[in-house]
Amino acid sequence: MEIGKLKESVLKRSVIKQLHVKRPEVGNGPSIGEDCATLQVGPDEEIVMSTDPITGTASDIGELAVTVSINDLASAGAEPIGILLTVLLTPRMREAKLKAIMEQVDNACKRYNVQVMGGHTEVTEAVNQPLISVTAVGKVKKGCMVSTGGAKPDMDIVLTKWIGLEGTSIIAKDHEEELLTRLPQSLIDTAKGFDQYLSVLPESRIAVEHGVAAMHDVTEGGIFGALWEMAEASGVGVDVDLKAIPVKQETIEVCEFFGINPYELISSGSMLIATNDGNGLVRKLRDAGVASAIIGKSNSSNDKCVISGDEVRFLEPPKADALYSVPNVERK
């Protein structure tokens, strides 16, 4: 494709025509020549917005871009409404690939009932693989937004599902041939399928109904990064049992292959929650088919500790995700 803004004909047939979800709150959606969307909500509701790019992989980026951004809204207890897309393409990419990406976007939007409200699509030499940046828009009842920084001392720290799901799936898809030199095909296929667990909307809704003080989706920097961020934002310390942190064997095997730390691997699909009643929340999540575990407690100190037997590790601010230590993964 030619560098610059997409031709109008391509924009119509391979972008706009692939989008099918319509929300009543969105008054002015994507169309030729329109740069702004309109959004109407009631007088007792607040708008919640978040933005994220997908840069660590070129596999299934349409699905991944929508899910990761919707997870941010879910972590705030917000109902997702719509997204704005910025799609940057390489000159080498064919229109059929663009259409496939937009079909992925639309499939994810149907799953979460969110509308593409607008965006920008461009071909540029500034990127060496397709890049999507998503701004997600949602709504929440006034005064009911859940923050990352709401944890108080002596609360249970609950983690849903398993760490490393997103990173394991990305690595298994992007490095399958290398992994096959040591690992069985069945394990790699299972690891690739971890992308089915990446939405945290189900546990978010259950947690909000149960009553929680703070929620944070576990993304770049992995569980160690997410723990540090929640504790720092809340002004509390944490004591976390390393052995209580749920992790799939496939994640351990894939991380060992490349010599990376699964606890520092991007982990969309896992939600970190602070609540006064961790046991009750775990039971409700289990009844809904969502795995979870209490992994520690908050405290009144400033120490952010991970305990493994007699060893204590003090967490530090998040650094570059372990995913970027895998060969051929571009840094942001």
Residues 227 and 79 in one domain: no
Residues 70, 132: one domain?
A: yes
- The confidence score (pLDDT) of residue 287 equals 97
Weakest mean pLDDT among 57-61, 94-98, 191-195, 239-243: 57-61
148 within some domain = no
Farthest-apart Cα atoms in the chain, separation: 65
pLDDT band of residue 31 (cuts 50, 70, 90) is confident
Question: With 0-12 CB in 10 A as exposed, 13-18 as middle and 19+ as buried, what is 328?
Answer: exposed
The CATH number of the domain holding residue 127 is 3.30.1330.10
User: Looking at the structure, do residues 128 and 169 belong to the same domain, yes or no?
Assistant: no
The predicted structure's pLDDT at residue 331: 38
Lowest-pLDDT choice from 35-39, 152-156, 262-266: 35-39
CA distance 314 to 311: 10
Residue 62 lies in a domain: yes
Domain that holds residue 232: 156-325
Share of the chain above pLDDT 90, in %: 72
pLDDT at position 173 is: 94
Asked if residue 174 and residue 95 are part of one domain, the reply reads no
Q: Beta strands 271-275 and 156-160: pairing type?
A: antiparallel
Instruction: Residue 27: count other Cβ atoms within 10 Å of its Cβ.
Output: 11
Rounded CA-CA distance 103/19 in Å is 8
Q: How many domains does the chain have?
A: 2
Strand runs (DSSP E) across the chain, as ranges? 4-5, 26-28, 38-39, 45-54, 79-89, 115-123, 131-141, 156-160, 214-217, 237-241, 271-275, 292-299, 304-308, 311-314
Helix, strand or coil, per DSSP, at residue 231: helix
pLDDT at 172: 96
Domain membership flag for residue 332? no
- For residues 162 and 30, the model is more confident at 162
Same domain flag for 218 and 166: yes
149 within some domain:
no
Please state at what angle helix 249-258 crosses helix 165-174, rounded to 10 degrees: 60
pLDDT tier, 4 (very low <50, low <70, confident <90, very high otherwise): low
Q: Give pLDDT, residue 332.
A: 36
Mean pLDDT of the chain: 91
Would you put residue 41 in left (φ > 0), alpha (ψ -120 to 50) or beta?
beta
pLDDT tier for residue 142 given thresholds of 50, 70 and 90? confident
The stretch 96-116 carries a mean pLDDT of 94
Beta bridge partners of 165: none
Domain boundary among 112, 141, 170: 141
Q: Are residues 102 and 64 in the same domain?
A: yes
Cα 69 from Cα 274, distance rounded (Å): 21
**Which whole number is the average pLDDT over 48-65?**
83
Residue pointed to by tokens 């919640």: 48
Compare 167 and 27 and report the one with higher pLDDT. 167
- Res 330 pLDDT > 50: no
pLDDT at 33 over 70: no
DSSP for 202-214, written as a single string: HHHHHHHHH--SE
% of the chain surpassing 70 pLDDT: 94
Crossing angle between the packed helical segments 185-192 and 249-258, to the nearest 10 degrees: 110
Highest mean pLDDT among 45-59, 116-130, 150-164 belongs to: 150-164
Is pLDDT at 176 greater than 80 in this prediction?
Answer: yes
Q: Which residues neighbour 170 within 8 Å (Cβ) at sequence distance 6 or greater? A: 56, 57, 59, 266, 323
How far is it, in rounded angstroms, from Cα 86 to Cα 104? 15
Top pLDDT among 224 and 6 is at: 224
Among candidate residues 100, 115, 141, the one where a domain is terminated: 141
Residue 21 shares a structural domain with residue 90: yes
Q: What are the backbone angles phi and psi of residue 40, rounded to the nearest 5°?
A: -115, 130
- Overall size of the chain counted in residues: 332
- Could you give the angle at the alpha carbon of 251 between the alpha carbons of 248 and 253, nearest 5°? 110
Task: Find the CATH number of the domain harbouring 166.
Answer: 3.90.650.10
pLDDT at 299: 97
Higher-confidence residue of 98 and 55: namely: 98
pLDDT in tens, 259-313: 999 999 999 999 999 999 999 999 999 999 999 999 999 999 999 999 999 999 9
pLDDT digits (tens, 9 = 90+) for 240-256: 999 999 999 999 999 99
Highest mean pLDDT among 8-12, 93-97, 143-147, 200-204: 200-204
